Amino acid sequence: MLIGTRGEIAILGNWFILHFTENEGMAFGMKFGGEFGKMTLSIFRIIAVIAIGWYLAKIIHKKEPFGLILSISLIFAGALGNIIDSAFYGIIFNESGFHQTSVFMPPEGGYSSFLHGKVVDMLYFPVIDGYYPSWFPIWGGQDFVFFRPVFNIADSSITVGVFILILFQKKFFKK
């Protein structure tokens, strides 16, 4: 393991790095309309997880194919993990910054209220790191990183579950 200059921990060379970052809760760090948007997103997630949980119970009871149950379970677990992160992270940690790591259970309390916290991402796989050639249109000479997103295990769970559904949809949904 090698600790980099930005507080990153290189696990396997330069292509698997633990990189602490917080996002506002949407994919790829996108924001959704300030405090009202954050609450709307949180409520939508809770409703979606309840619906996914109901559907999961239904397909388990009907003894649907194992792959379908597995994929829906992965999506459910990932969504629930992100909800828990968003719901409680802001309550039990203070604000982090570029040169300051969050503190668990600070005496002054967390940086936000219930359902207004950020989601922590930490897995970073910059497989290829380089520059676009100067002749390349629009981005010529700029930095290029293949697979730039930083994500967490919950995001991975959702992605794998959706990928399984897409890959085996004809087998799972014969009707």
85 is catalytic: no
155 is catalytic: yes
Closest C-alpha among 84, 72, 68 to residue 152: 84
* Structure letter (DSSP) for residue 96: P
Collect all residues with Cβ–Cβ distance below 8 Å to 100 and sequence separation of at least 6.
none
Q: What sections of the chain are H helices per DSSP?
A: 34-61, 66-92, 153-167, 169-172
User: Residue 68, exposed/middle/buried by CB under 10 A (0-12, 13-18, 19+)?
Assistant: buried
Query: How far, CA to CA in Å, does 132 sit from each of 136, 138, 165?
Result: 6, 10, 35
Phi, psi for 144 (deg, rounded to 5) = -130, 125
Cα separation, 75 vs 102, whole angstroms: 28
Known catalytic residues are 121, 155
